[in-house]
């Protein structure tokens, strides 16, 4: 039986996004130039018009919500890039600290999200107390999580998702230090933190594969959600490709869910698996921030992946979305044309074909 999975890139519901939700955190932040999180709302409004806050918890998902909540989808996975906490103990010296009030967790449940990868460079922005409350809040909301925990064993442990008549899905969250995860955040035997890897060497790939194989059964679908690489740039380092290939070859993983870049990057179908090297930002508060406009980071995709009965890649629909007014909206025809040109020029597609659907989505077959 086929399995249909929703994936997207970074979901950053802290700071400015948190401020427009029904239960905003205290707005005080500790950035070099901005000290009030509501300033990010003001910047967005100056660019694209007023946001009538507080908004409904479904608001931020906008036009994407109907597609994400499609009952034919078996599993929904995001990279949640914020701390969910009341903690005021921000991580000093980091410069940027994302926080969402735990009362606003309903903005995640509104989209029916089943699992959050937490192996990223913002989950401990408000200290270990903030991490603990993040884990508690997700568990209370019955949302699975992976990639961070009370110790290295908990951080490395996969999230396990089962549904009747379907293969079990195992999700492994991994954070590469190349994405800006502070070295001090690495989980240890008796220390909470992130499941961090410090290089993408063959040795690290083999060690990671051993950990995955120790957890999986023969019929499990394996998804590896990895936060890696720089924020800007279309180049895909060869070391990332080699790392992804090794994990697929050794574990039989079906999907490498890559994220960290603020814009969408290339992809590959390799040995029956889908590799998304960079899914871009899906939800954030960057709307009024200047810089890097040439990357059109406000244009993003939701990824609808179909795996066949053997757990192998069959197809992927990339549904384009436009971030505006802190909400996902249908892009214009010009925006869709820009994305098509991007994948014909700068973003590589290897091992598969790109087809334009009548509805305006891109399909990988």
* Per-residue model confidence as pLDDT tens digits over 133-146: 999 999 999 999 99
Q: For residue range 52-61, what is the model confidence (pLDDT) as tens digits?
A: 999 999 999 9
Query: What per-residue confidence (pLDDT) applies to 114?
Result: 99
What the block records as the tokens of 49 is: 């018009």
Task: Give the containing element (helix H, strand E) for 65.
Answer: helix 65-68
Q: For residue range 190-243, what is the model confidence (pLDDT) as tens digits?
A: 999 999 999 999 999 999 999 999 999 999 999 999 999 999 999 999 999 999
Q: Where residue 359 falls among pLDDT bands split at 50, 70, 90?
A: confident
- Are 27 and 19 contacting, i.e. CB atoms less than 8 angstroms apart? yes
DSSP-derived pairing of the beta strands 115-117 and 144-146: parallel
What the block records as the tokens of 318 is: 């990339």
Distance CA 107, CA 282 (A): 14
Query: What per-residue confidence (pLDDT) applies to 358?
Result: 84
**Burial per residue of 106-137, b for 16 or more beta-carbon CB atoms within 10 angstroms, e otherwise:** ebbebbbbbbbbbbbbbbbbbbbbbbebbbeb
Q: For residue range 61-99, what is the model confidence (pLDDT) as tens digits?
A: 999 999 999 999 999 999 999 999 999 999 999 999 999
Query: What per-residue confidence (pLDDT) applies to 360?
Result: 87
Query: What per-residue confidence (pLDDT) applies to 307?
Result: 98
Query: What per-residue confidence (pLDDT) applies to 96?
Result: 96
How many other C-beta atoms lie within 10 A of the C-beta of residue 40? Answer: 26
All structural domains of the chain: 3-364 (3.60.21.10)
What burial class does residue 363 get, using C-beta atoms within 10 Å of its C-beta: 0-12 exposed, 13-18 middle, 19+ buried? middle
Of the chain, the end-to-end C-alpha distance in Å amounts to 18
For residues 250-272, average pLDDT? 98
What the block records as the tokens of 202 is: 């063959």
For residues 357-365, average pLDDT? 90
Q: What percent of the chain has pLDDT over 70?
A: 100
What burial class does residue 320 get, using C-beta atoms within 10 Å of its C-beta: 0-12 exposed, 13-18 middle, 19+ buried? buried
174 pLDDT more than 90: yes
């Amino acid at each position: 039986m086929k399995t249909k999975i929703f994936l997207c890139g970074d979901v950053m519901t802290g700071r400015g996004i948190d401020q427009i939700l029904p239960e905003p955190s205290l707005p005080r932040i500790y950035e070099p130039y901005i000290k009030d999180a509501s300033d990010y709302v003001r910047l967005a409004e100056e660019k694209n018009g007023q946001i009538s806050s507080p908004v409904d918890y479904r608001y931020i998902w906008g036009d994407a919500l109907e597609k994400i909540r499609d009952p034919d989808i078996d599993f929904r996975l995001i990279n949640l890039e914020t701390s969910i906490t009341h903690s005021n103990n921000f991580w000093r010296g980091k410069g940027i600290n994302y926080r969402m009030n735990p009362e606003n967790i309903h903005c995640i449940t509104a989209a029916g999200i089943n699992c959050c990868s937490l192996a990223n460079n913002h989950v401990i922005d408000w200290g270990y107390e903030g991490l603990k409350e993040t884990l508690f809040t997700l568990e209370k909301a019955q949302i699975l999580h992976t990639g961070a925990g009370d110790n290295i064993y908990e951080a490395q442990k996969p999230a396990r998702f089962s549904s009747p008549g379907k293969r079990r899905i195992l999700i492994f969250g991994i954070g590469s230090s190349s994405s800006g995860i502070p070295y001090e955040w690495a989980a240890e035997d008796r220390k909470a933190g992130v499941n961090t890897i410090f290089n993408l060497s063959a040795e690290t790939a083999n060690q990671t594969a051993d950990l995955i194989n120790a957890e999986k059964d023969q019929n499990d679908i394996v998804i590896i959600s990895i936060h890696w690489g720089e924020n800007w740039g279309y180049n895909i380092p060869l070391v990332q490709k080699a790392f992804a290939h090794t994990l697929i070859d050794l574990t039989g993983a079906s999907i490498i869910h890559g994220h960290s870049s603020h814009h969408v990057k290339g992809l590959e179908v390799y040995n029956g698996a889908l590799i998304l090297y960079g899914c871009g930002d899906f939800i954030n508060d960057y709307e009024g921030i200047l810089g890097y406009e040439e990357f059109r980071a406000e244009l993003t995709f939701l990824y609808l992946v179909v795996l066949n009965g053997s757990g192998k890649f069959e197809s992927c629909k990339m549904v384009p979305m436009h971030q505006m007014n802190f909400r996902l909206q249908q892009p214009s025809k010009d925006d869709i044309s820009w994305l098509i040109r991007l994948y014909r020029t700068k973003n590589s597609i290897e091992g598969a074909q790109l087809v334009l659907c009548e509805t305006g989505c891109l399909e990988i077959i």
